[in-house]
Every structure is written in structure tokens, then in C-alpha cells.
Amino acid sequence: MHVLMFWGFLMLGSDMFDLATANAFSDRILPEMLNGPWNGMVELGYTMALFGCVAALVRRVAFTPEKMRGTPQLEGNVILLLILSITVTSFIVESVHDPSGFWEPIGYWVSGMGPSESTVVISYWVHIFSICMFFVLIPLSKHMHLVMAVPNVFFHDTEPMGKMRPMAIGEDGRAVPLDDLDIDSFGVSTYTQYTWRQLIDGWSCTSCARCQDVCPAYASGKGLNPKQVIHDIRNYANEHAPILLGGKHPEETMMQRITEEAVWACTTCSACVDICPLYIEHVTKLTDLRRNAMMETMEYPEILNTAMGNIESASNPYGFGVHERADWAAGLDIKIGEPAEYIYFVGCAASFDERNQKVARSTISLLKEAGLDVGILGMQEGCSGDPARRAGNEYLFQMLAETNMMTFQELGVKRIIASCPHCFHALGKEYADYGGDQLEVFHHSEILAELQVEGKLPYFNEVATSKGRSITYHDPCYLGRIGGIIEEPRRVMSGIDVEIENHGRDSFCCGAGGAQMWMEEDSDKRVNVIRAKEISETGCDTVAVGCPFCSIMIKDGLDTVGSDMDVMDVAELLWEQIQKRDAEVRTGSAKA
């Protein structure tokens, strides 16, 4: 439907331009031998637009989608009727210009009906009037996307999905070091502090509501609607245009327009960005507001003070002492703070959370089983900074990034393995702005799958004499959709038994991202409970994960919905099977 209207509009738009210039192109520039193909292309455009409009009107009036019910439809219907009027009258006007039966079959068919001269004259003026009204209404309505969609797509952000911008970028293309940083404001508080690319998103939106449909915050009943955020920015400009054009700032801030509830409800899962056909960037508009709230106005959820304070003083949001960072590795005989081919970046959760320490031990055990030269940083490892950055504390994030980069350089770190997708994303995608552009960063599932291919680790189905478990897999947002790692975790487990309804790039968030792990949710608005219900519906007894925060949130959600499913990391599942195999071998040897 939209495809027909889009391409049809492009083709009929060329005819409108030709008409506005008194047929300068078709009569004076275009060679006569190409008149037929030109007229055929124009008629094809009008035909596509006509069918697209009819389909859209039928859908709006007779089969109104649930997401459109209760919203004003007059504006959209008027625009569609104008396009319909333009296309129908064009065929009538065309019929008196001796249309070719081959190139212009519809115009030829209409001419055979013999429309009267008065009909043609009326159709001509209706055609002109409709075009004029169309161009008058476009800038005042959401249908400005007909004009702005192309530049919006053309100039879309080519950086990796989910990557946030530094506070300031130097001439070398990297973030300006904190010692040299000299800026007057942080983030966004006023309309003009958004970039021009962020602002044109408002006039590119088609109001298709795809972003709304996939937003976990919206689905859980919170006050965030990504579509409305984009509309709020556009409406703000329309309402305050005289003040903005006068070079002044309206009293209403962007935070007041979008609302604090919406800004702090985002999990930064990027589902809205990924599904938008016009590359609209919803998340950065919210994280830029968070930066201003966190570092300038100091108007942010007080509950974040604990996590941010702990990160600043102990380099982890839990508040444990740095000297405890490697306690989980006791007895594993692993290099700590020494050069190695691979450094396992453990992350805060696997370092201090008892449940996720088992994931770290399983991962290291597998890597040692494969004979990999791997070590950990121990006390020298700091938080990757992801929670601080997503919460808006950009200064703290950069401090952590610069400190970690100094450690990497001192130890000659080149290749990093991370179990946490948030660390994987920060180190692999965002540290490039802080000198880490030469780092190779892998998620542990990538390495494990590669080691299986190389024959250094067994395949899951080779060591599982009796699989025992029925397994489904939850794709973490920062690993699957944002990181592009979808098949590797499944390969580690030699496939899974049942896919969750929303999986892969379409996976539904666990609710921990965007610093939500360190904030409180209303009991009746919990994202993890929605995801837990989807997981429990698979009928499996185990859900595999590849993220420590997903593990925590999903287990909590499953407990809430009354499910006794096990939640295990892919590394734990593979190591469990290897241990079972070894135990069976030992038992067999003992009997012999």
C-alpha cells in the first residue's frame, strides 16, 4: 500500500513538475521518440498512487487497525482523497491528448468513453485545485513525510545501532579527553540543542505506529510512546515557531513537553529504531534529555544515586570493593592482570552477583578446556560504563572509558571476550571514540561457537547423550538486535527446541537496559513479566540466555508468573553437558 503510493508519488510528482513548468521538459527537452515511454511512466505512477489510495481508504474506513482507533483520521483521509482526486482527474484530462493504446492504456480507455468538453475542463481545474490544496496542506500535516522521507533516509545515522555520541568530538574524530573538555551545556534542554538530523525526524514520521507496537515500555503501560515523542518534537516546533525563529527559547523545555516519565521509562532496546522504515532515531532524543537532567539540572530519579555513587567510588554499581573483583575465580588457575592473547572482561554482574559468577566460571572453564590463552584483569578491571551512559551520566562514562583504555594499553590488550552484551557493546562499539578502535571484542557465544567449529570444543549434541532439557532461547537486545549476534548462541547449543514468539531481531526486551536495572518499576507495569509470559508459553523447561541482566530479570519474571523454568547461560549449558560426559566416562572407567 505505502510502496504503491511512494513510488507512484515519485513518478506522478515528475508530471506535476512538468505541468508547473508549462510542459518544458516533455515538449522541449525530451526527444520525441521518448514521449511514449515518458507518458507510460507517468500513467504507471498515477495508477500505482490510485490503487494505493483506494486500499488505504478502505483500510482506514472499513478495517481500521486497533492502533488507529480513537485517533483523529480526518487529516489523513483528506490527504488521501486529494491524491485520489489528482489521479482520477489526470486520466480524464489525459484522454483528450490522443493517448497511446500501448503506453497509456487507461487514458486510451477513458478517451473511448468520450468525456464531454465541460467534463474535461472541470476535471482540469479540479486537478489543479487538488494539487494546490495538497501542497498547502502537506507542511501543516504529518504528510510532510512525503517530502522529508527521502532526505531522512539518505542522511540516516551510519554508526552502529545503539552507539551514543561523546560530549564533544575533536579534530581527530575522537572524543575530546576530559582534561581538555570545555563545553557550556550537557545534553539537550531546548529544541535548538537537538541536531538538525534529529529534528527532521518529526516531519518524516508517517504515524505508522510500528515503533509503538514494539516498545516494551509502552506495552507495559508506562508513559512512553516512541511515536508520540517524535510528534512532540514536531508539534513543539510548530507551536513555538515565532519564538524559535526569533532566536529565543520558549519557556517550555523539551523535558516538560516529552515528560519525565517518558524519558526515564526507555530501556534503550532500540526496537523502535530497528523497525522504523524511515530510520527515525527515537532513543537518542531521550538519552540526550537524560544527559541534561543528570549533569546539568540534576532532576533525575533519586534511586539512581546509589548505583552512580557506587560506580564512581568502587567502579561497579553494587558497591563491592575493588579487591573482591576476582574472588569468583578462586581455584581456576587463570592469569590475573597479566598479558594474554584474550582478556575475559568479566563485567560487574559476573564479578559480584553470585548467580552470574557461575556463568563466568563456566565460560573460563570452557576457554581453558579449548586451550585458549586467556586471562582476566582482576582489580584492574573497571565498569564498562554502560549503566552510567544510559542513565545520562556521560562524564562518569567517559572517565571509566579512559581509565579502562589506559589499562588495556598498559597490558597490550587487543582481543576481549565479554559475557555481558552491554559490556560487549560499550567496548566494541563505543570505546572506538576513546582510543579503542583497534580492539577486537567478542561475545563469549561467538568464541564458543568458533571453538566448536575448530574442533577445540565439542558440539552440544555430541556430549549430550540424552539432552535432558527442552530449551528455548531469549535474545538479549544488546546482543541480538543491536549487536547482530543471533545464530551463534543457538549454534553453541546445537539449535534449540522451541523459538519464543518474539525472537532474533524481534526479541522483546527483558526490561533491564537503559539503566532500568538500577531503577524501580511499578508492580503492574513490569516489562520482565511480559517477557516471562512469552517464554513460559513455549512449554520448555529451560530458557537459555546470553546476558547477566536478562538472567536476573527473566528469573524474577518467571517467579512472578509462577513458572519453575530454569534460566541458564549458553556457556553454563555447554559446560554442564561436558561435565556430565566426563562424569560418565569416569563412571565407566571405574566399573571397568
DSSP characters over 198-250: HHHHHHH-----HHHHH-HHHHTT-S--HHHHHHHHHHHHHHTHHHHHTT---
Q: What was the pLDDT predicted at 398?
A: 97
> What CATH number should be reported for the domain holding residue 561?
3.40.50
Q: Tell me if residue 376 falls in helix, strand or coil.
A: strand
Average pLDDT over residues 483-507: 96
What percent of the chain lies above the pLDDT cut of 70? Answer: 92
160 found inside a domain? no
323 found inside a domain? yes
Q: What was the pLDDT predicted at 592?
A: 56
What is the Cα–Cα distance from 234 to 528, expressed in whole angstroms? 32
What percent of the chain lies above the pLDDT cut of 90? Answer: 66
Q: What was the pLDDT predicted at 558?
A: 98
Please report which confidence band the pLDDT of residue 545 belongs to, taking 50, 70 and 90 as the band edges: very high
172 found inside a domain? no
379 found inside a domain? yes
Burial per residue of 466-480, b for 16 or more beta-carbon CB atoms within 10 angstroms, e otherwise: eeebebbbbbbbbbb
234 found inside a domain? yes
Clarify whether residues 105 and 196 are in a common domain: no
Least confident of 21-25, 224-228, 290-294, 437-441: 21-25
Q: What was the pLDDT predicted at 588?
A: 66
Clarify whether residues 291 and 327 are in a common domain: no
Clarify whether residues 245 and 129 are in a common domain: no
Q: What was the pLDDT predicted at 438?
A: 93
pLDDT above 80: residue 352: yes
Residue identified by cell 506522478 is 12
**Helices 283-292 & 226-239, crossing angle to 10 degrees?**
70
Q: Give one word for 495, left, alpha or beta, with left for phi > 0 and alpha for psi -120 to 50.
A: left
Dihedral over Cα of 433, 439, 444, 445: its sign = positive
pLDDT above 90: residue 100: no
pLDDT above 90: residue 240: yes
Helix (H) or strand (E) holding 448: helix 444-453
**Helices 145-154 & 196-204, crossing angle to 10 degrees?**
140
Helix (H) or strand (E) holding 415: strand 415-418
Clarify whether residues 285 and 319 are in a common domain: no
Q: What was the pLDDT predicted at 290?
A: 98
Least confident of 143-147, 226-230, 564-568, 570-574: 143-147
pLDDT above 80: residue 169: yes
Tell which of 262, 297, 332 closes a domain.
297
Clarify whether residues 109 and 191 are in a common domain: no
Average pLDDT over residues 458-485: 89
pLDDT above 70: residue 466: no
Tell which of 426, 453, 480 closes a domain.
453
Q: Tell me if residue 513 falls in helix, strand or coil.
A: coil
Least confident of 40-49, 257-266, 404-413, 444-453: 40-49
Q: Return the half-sphere exposure (C-beta side, CA atoms, 13 A cut-off) of residue 242.
A: 1
Clarify whether residues 285 and 332 are in a common domain: no
Least confident of 106-115, 222-231, 373-382: 106-115
Clarify whether residues 315 and 446 are in a common domain: yes
Number of structural domains found in the chain = 4
Q: What was the pLDDT predicted at 20?
A: 67
Dihedral over Cα of 149, 153, 157, 159: its sign = positive
Q: Return the half-sphere exposure (C-beta side, CA atoms, 13 A cut-off) of residue 156.
A: 18
Q: What was the pLDDT predicted at 467?
A: 56
What is the Cα–Cα distance from 212 to 221, expressed in whole angstroms? 12
Shortest CA distance to 361 belongs to which of 353, 447, 556?
Answer: 353
What is the Cα–Cα distance from 116 to 85, expressed in whole angstroms? 18
Longest dimension (CA), the chain: 104
Q: What was the pLDDT predicted at 144?
A: 82
Q: What was the pLDDT predicted at 396?
A: 98
Is the model more confident about 320 or about 137?
Answer: 320
Please report which confidence band the pLDDT of residue 62 belongs to, taking 50, 70 and 90 as the band edges: confident
Clarify whether residues 214 and 88 are in a common domain: no
Average pLDDT over residues 207-232: 95
Clarify whether residues 439 and 316 are in a common domain: yes
pLDDT above 70: residue 59: yes
Q: How far is CA 169 from CA 175, 182, 206, in A?
A: 4, 11, 33
85 found inside a domain? yes
Average pLDDT over residues 417-445: 97
Q: Do the beta carbons of residue 262 and residue 193 sit within 8 Å? A: no
Task: Tell me how crowded residue 494 is: count the other CB atoms within 10 A of its CB.
Answer: 18
Task: Tell me how crowded residue 194 is: count the other CB atoms within 10 A of its CB.
Answer: 20
Highest mean pLDDT among 113-117, 172-176, 579-583: 172-176
196 found inside a domain? yes
Q: What was the pLDDT predicted at 591?
A: 58
- Residue 379's Cβ-count burial label (10 Å; 0-12, 13-18, 19+) is middle
Is the model more confident about 107 or about 224?
Answer: 224
Is the model more confident about 436 or about 40?
Answer: 436
Please report which confidence band the pLDDT of residue 550 belongs to, taking 50, 70 and 90 as the band edges: very high
Clarify whether residues 438 and 498 are in a common domain: no
What is the Cα–Cα distance from 255 to 264, expressed in whole angstroms? 11
Cell of 479: 546482543
What is the Cα–Cα distance from 290 to 189, expressed in whole angstroms? 9
pLDDT above 80: residue 492: yes
pLDDT tens, residue by residue, 138-157: 877 777 887 788 888 889 98
Task: Tell me how crowded residue 65 is: count the other CB atoms within 10 A of its CB.
Answer: 11
Q: How many residues does the chain have?
A: 592
Shortest CA distance to 400 belongs to which of 389, 391, 414, 416?
Answer: 389
What is the Cα–Cα distance from 206 to 147, expressed in whole angstroms? 11
Helices (H) and strands (E) in the chain, counts: 27, 8
Q: What was the pLDDT predicted at 93?
A: 75
What is the Cα–Cα distance from 567 to 556, expressed in whole angstroms? 10
Q: Which amino acid is at 440?
A: E
Clarify whether residues 487 and 547 are in a common domain: yes
In whole numbers, what is the pLDDT of the chain averaged over residues?
90
Q: Tell me if residue 314 falls in helix, strand or coil.
A: helix
116 found inside a domain? yes
Q: How far is CA 515 from CA 22, 220, 290, 386, in A?
A: 59, 17, 11, 8
Q: What ranges make up the beta strands (E) of 332-408? A: 335-336, 342-345, 374-376
Q: What was the pLDDT predicted at 67?
A: 65
Q: Phi and psi for 547 in degrees, rounded to 5?
A: -150, 130
Average pLDDT over residues 427-433: 97
Q: What was the pLDDT predicted at 42?
A: 76
Q: What was the pLDDT predicted at 61?
A: 77
Q: What was the pLDDT predicted at 239?
A: 93
pLDDT above 70: residue 296: yes
Least confident of 18-27, 135-144, 270-279, 530-539: 18-27
pLDDT above 60: residue 511: yes
Burial per residue of 104-131, b for 16 or more beta-carbon CB atoms within 10 angstroms, e otherwise: bebbbebbeeebeeebeeebeebbeebb
pLDDT above 90: residue 98: no
Task: Tell me how crowded residue 61 is: count the other CB atoms within 10 A of its CB.
Answer: 10
Clarify whether residues 318 and 446 are in a common domain: yes
Is the model more confident about 591 or about 74?
Answer: 74
Q: Which domain holds residue 366?
A: 311-453
Is the model more confident about 133 or about 285?
Answer: 285
Tell which of 297, 321, 345 closes a domain.
297
pLDDT above 80: residue 235: yes
Average pLDDT over residues 558-579: 96
> What CATH number should be reported for the domain holding residue 217?
1.10.1060
Task: Tell me how crowded residue 168 is: count the other CB atoms within 10 A of its CB.
Answer: 13
pTM above 0.75, yes or no: yes
Least confident of 186-190, 205-209, 267-271, 354-358: 205-209
C-alpha distance across the termini of the chain, in Å: 71
